[in-house]
Chain A
C-alpha cells in the first residue's frame, strides 16, 4: 500500500494533461473534418481550369417585363428588347463558367459587383481541375426585367449536369437567383443565391 500510493498519485497528475491533449486533438480534427465536408467554406484558387469538353442542351429562356400595366408602349418595348439581349448574355456567361467553360475569373470580374465577385471567388464554385468532361442535361432561366426603365432584373436559373471528375461521373443541379442591375459597365450581378446539390 505504502509503495503504490506515490505511483498512483503521479498517474492522476498526468491524467488531466493526457485528457486535455486528447481533447484538443479531437477538437482540431473535428474542425478540419467540418471544413473538408463543406469545402465551399475554404478559400481556394480563384480561376478554375476550363474543362476540355463541355456539351449541353440549349438554354430554355423566358424573359419578360415586370411591373408594366397594360403592356409596353412601342418605345418601352424597344428598350426592353435591347436590354433583354444583354441580360440573357450575362446569365449564359455566368452559368457557362460555372459549368466548365473558360474565363471564370474574367467573367466574374466583368459581370459581378465587387462584393458579389469576392463572395463567388472565395468559394469553390467552379469545377475541379481534374474534370475531363461536362454534359449539361438541362439549363433553364426565367428572367424578369423591370419594364420601365429597364435597369434592374432578377433571374431564376436551374441547371442539371453530369461531369467526369477524376474518372468518376458526378451529377449535380444548380438552383440560383441572380439579382442584376444596369450600371455604366453594363449589367452586373449585385447579389446571388446559388444552391448546388448532388443528384
Chain B
C-alpha cells in the first residue's frame, strides 16, 4: 500500500486560537483595547485596595491587625453581595495564578477548572484563619468568608476617619465609595491649588443633609474631587467599574444564552418550532427595548442592580437569537453535519459538538457587543434616575451630576464609560475580523 508523502507541516497544527492570537498581535488597536479592558478588570477587582476608609494594616497595643482584610466580606459594610464577591477575587486571582504556575505545570492532567476550584477553596480556608489571626484581642469578631453566606451580621466598622490607631497604613485613597467628607463639590487640586479653572466646577451650594460626616481633611486628599455629598469621585469611579463589569457580563450572559438556545433550536429543527420562535422574535423586536426596560423597571418599587440585569437580559436576546438561527440554517447544510448524522450521532450531539463550535465566531462577536450594549443601557436607565440607588454605577454618577449641575461629576464617569465602551467595541470588531477570514479561508492560487 502506498503511503502519502509525509507533509513537512508546521510543528503544531494552527488552531483558531492561534489565528486569534495572530490577529491580536497584528492590530495595535486591538492590543490597546485588550490592555484597557484588562486594566479595567484589575481596577474593579482591586478597588478596595485602592480606595478604602479602613487601614490596610494597623497597630494598636502592640498588636498588628488588618481591619481592611477583616471586613472584606462584611455585608453590613458593603451593603449587598456585589462587593464581597469581587473581594473574593482579590485574593483568588493571585492564588490562582500562583497555583497554575506551580502545580499545573507539574501535573498536566489536572484540568484547569479543577485548579480554579482548588484555589477558590484554598482562599476560603486561608482567609478565615487569616482574618481571625489578625484580629486585635479586644475587638468583636469581624466577618470572615463563611459569614458571607451565613446570617452573621457583622457590625459596621469604624474607619480612618472615625477612630485612630497607634500606627496605621491607609489605602492610597483613604475613602470608600460611601464615605462622605466635609468637601462637597470640591474640585481636583494639586498641592492645594485648583487644577483647572474653577468655572468648570461650579456647583450648587445647597447640599442635602450629610451623613457620617468625617472630620475635615485637606482637599488634596481627593485627587479628582468629590460629589455633592462629599463622596470621593475616584473611589466611586473605581467601585463603579465593578457594577459595569457585573452588569455587562451578567446581562450579556443571559441575553446571549437565551438567544443562542432559541436561535439554534429554531434553525436546527425548523418547521413550526422555527415559525413560533421567529414570530416571537419579531414581536419582541417591535417594542423599543429601552422603553420596555424603563417600563419594567418602573413596575418594581426599588429596582436593584440584579433586577436591572434580569430585565436587560430578557429583552435583549433577540439579536443573538437571529444570528444563531442564521448560523444554524447555514451550517445545517454542511456536508460534515450530514456525515456526523450518518455516523449515528444523536441530533443533540451533532448540534453541540459539530454545529455550535463552528458558530463560535459569530457568537463571540455577538457576546462582545452585547456586553457593551448592556453597560450602555444600564447607564441610560440610571441616568434617567430609574436605576439602583445604592450601587455607585457610572450612570448613577452621571445622574447625580446632572441633578446637581456638577460638570466634574458628569465628565469623569462619562469619560470612563466612553473608554470602556470604545475598548469593548474595538475588541468586538477585532474578533469579527479574526473569525471571518477563518471561515472564508484563503484559497491557494489556482493550479
Chains A and B come from one and the same complex: no
A residues contacting B by CB (< 8 A) are none
Give chain B's interface residues, CB within 8 Å of chain A: none
